[in-house]
């Protein structure tokens, strides 16, 4: 069984459209997973960047 989820973001929420790049799609996908694991209160862009083996600046370029 396969499932697909399409999330549409309000254009006021991002600086660069995350759907247009692989890194942007990874940021969205992995942030959902990390929020599910850690809870919203413990989620940070720094933890996300470490999780996806990128930099905080890369995440901030999008959001």
For residue range 26-53, list pLDDT tens digits in order.
999 999 999 999 999 999 999 999 999 9
Q: Give the list of residues 6+ apart from residue 27 with CB closer than 8 angstroms, or none.
A: 18, 48, 52, 58, 59, 62, 63
Q: How confident is the model at residue 13 (pLDDT cuts 50, 70, 90)?
A: confident
The span from the CA of 55 to the CA of 37, in Å, is: 20
Length of the chain, in residues: 63
6 is a domain residue: no
CATH of the domain at 57: 1.10.10
By residue range, what is the domain housing residue 31? 17-62
Q: How confident is the model at residue 59 (pLDDT cuts 50, 70, 90)?
A: very high
56 is a domain residue: yes
pTM for this predicted structure: 0.82
Find the mean pLDDT for residues 48-62.
96
């Amino acid at each position: 069984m396969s499932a697909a989820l399409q999330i549409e973001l309000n254009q006021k929420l991002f600086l660069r459209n995350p759907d247009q790049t692989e890194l942007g799609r990874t940021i969205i996908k992995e942030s959902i997973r990390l929020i599910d694991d850690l809870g919203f209160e413990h989620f940070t862009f720094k933890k996300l960047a470490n999780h996806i083996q990128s930099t905080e600046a890369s995440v901030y370029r999008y959001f």
